[in-house]
Amino acid sequence: MPGVIYPQRAKWGVALAAGILLWTAGNAYADKPTSGAHGGTNGNNIYASATYSTIKVRQISGPTGGKRGSVSSVDVNWKPPACWYEPVFSGQELKDFVDSTNGNGDVGIHESWYGKGLWTDHYQDGKPEHNFDDSNSVADGYKNYNIGKNGYFWRSVAPDATDPASWDCGRIMFWQDANVVPNVPHAPTPEMLADYAYNQIKVPATEIEVKPTAKSTVNLPTWVWLDKGKFQDVKVRAELPRTNLWAETTAKPVALHLDPGTSDATTFPASGDCTINNDGSIGTPYKPGDANTTPPCGITYLKATNGTPYQLKASITWQITWEGTGGAKGNLPNGTFDTTQNMNVQEIQAVNR
């Protein structure tokens, strides 16, 4: 991908370079830094590479304030899409891009990949580009960037250039009529957008309530709960412009898992998994007189901390589902998000009730 050319892929690297540039009304650059996987802007300039996607992501429901973080898939084999294709230029936009980058001093073309103008004949003069190692390319090239035709040039996107699977999208930039998704491997689908949205979900931090609050006591239960409304579904929508493709990925909190931070403890339930009630609460709030009763969600520590607190980890499991264009829908692997807090445990047996 950008900045790395392997000898056996040198020709393909040249071809890909023609497909990874993005045009805007201002100056365009191929090798400037991007902001995360989405690229960044500076005034009228846009800095883009194969890591830049035009997919638009927004959260449409769920909490947005406070501490939040990304979920981790419980399936260690799951990962977001490594690469795909998406529309980037109309014919006129490609011409404008070429005109804005040829010879004006602001060229972002990586000269070590190919000489200036090497690939442009393929798109403006109808000439075949023999350096393109792509059996699917148009043999006779494109005439005048296909200006006047209703469609777009598509190029590959690969957010993580270090992922070997990012090389799977090896086609050079190619033409597709408008309102048609190309029938090629790694073309975008609603499920792919759902996977992409999964990777953008931000869920609230797991800040549990405990009682006693200052110090727990050896052999007496510590109650754990979350008030209703603390955790709500989080829904994220991903849309790919110029394709009519969209997907909404929903994360629903379904369980709280407690890890006491020591083997010298008993959890309630024994599995440490506290279910989320129908009203969105977890467990039952502590009430005076509950000190010697078994909580539906909690911990009994069997050994004092003696100055070094235990690290109580609270992990929420989020059930992930999606729906998208044309009624498509499905499930994705559950996700988890963990937070930890100090738990001090004392030896004395007397507690306030």
200 — pLDDT class (breaks 50, 70, 90): very high
- The residue ranking higher by pLDDT, 96 or 348, is 96
DSSP 226: B
Residue 20 has pLDDT above 70, yes or no: no
226: its two tokens? 């979350």
- The residue ranking higher by pLDDT, 228 or 318, is 318
CA 149 to chain centre: 34
Residue 16: predicted pLDDT: 39
- The residue ranking higher by pLDDT, 26 or 142, is 142
Give the C-alpha separation, 346 to 217, whole Å: 5
Other Cβ atoms less than 10 A from the Cβ of 238: the count is 27
250 — pLDDT class (breaks 50, 70, 90): very high
Residue 344 has pLDDT above 60, yes or no: yes
| Residue 83 dihedral angles phi and psi, to the nearest 5° | -165, 160
| Cross-strand pairs, 330 | 322
Give the C-alpha separation, 231 to 209, whole Å: 13
CA angle 54–183–24, rounded 5-degree value: 25
User: Order of strands across the sheet with 40-42?
Assistant: 28-29, 45-47, 40-42
Residue 271: predicted pLDDT: 94
Residue 327: predicted pLDDT: 97
- The residue ranking higher by pLDDT, 96 or 222, is 222
Give the C-alpha separation, 144 to 94, whole Å: 10
152 — pLDDT class (breaks 50, 70, 90): very high
Residue 137 has pLDDT above 60, yes or no: no
328's CB contacts (< 8 A; 6+ apart) are: 189, 190, 191, 247
Average pLDDT over residues 271-284: 86
**Mean model confidence pLDDT for the chain:** 78
Report percent pLDDT > 90 for the chain: 45
Average pLDDT over residues 313-320: 93
Contact of 224 with 272, CB cutoff 8 Å? no
Residue 287: predicted pLDDT: 86
Classify residue 262 by burial, with Cβ atoms within 10 Å: 0-12, 13-18, 19+: middle
185's CB contacts (< 8 A; 6+ apart) are: 168
* Three-state SS at 10: helix
Classify residue 280 by burial, with Cβ atoms within 10 Å: 0-12, 13-18, 19+: middle
Residue 293: predicted pLDDT: 87
Average pLDDT over residues 123-138: 64
Residue 118 has pLDDT above 50, yes or no: no
Closest CA to 198 of 270, 248, 273: 248
Residue 292 has pLDDT above 90, yes or no: no
| Residue 295 dihedral angles phi and psi, to the nearest 5° | -80, 150
Average pLDDT over residues 319-325: 98
285 — pLDDT class (breaks 50, 70, 90): confident
Residue 103 has pLDDT above 70, yes or no: no
Residue 111 has pLDDT above 60, yes or no: no
- The residue ranking higher by pLDDT, 4 or 338, is 338
Give the C-alpha separation, 71 to 38, whole Å: 19
Residue 251: predicted pLDDT: 96
Average pLDDT over residues 305-324: 93
Give the C-alpha separation, 162 to 82, whole Å: 10
Give the C-alpha separation, 166 to 160, whole Å: 7
Query: Quick one: which H or E segment has residue 190?
Result: helix 190-198
- The residue ranking higher by pLDDT, 93 or 231, is 93
Q: What are 71-94's pLDDT values in tens digits?
A: 999 999 999 999 999 998 899 988
Residue 196: predicted pLDDT: 97
98 — pLDDT class (breaks 50, 70, 90): confident
51 — pLDDT class (breaks 50, 70, 90): confident
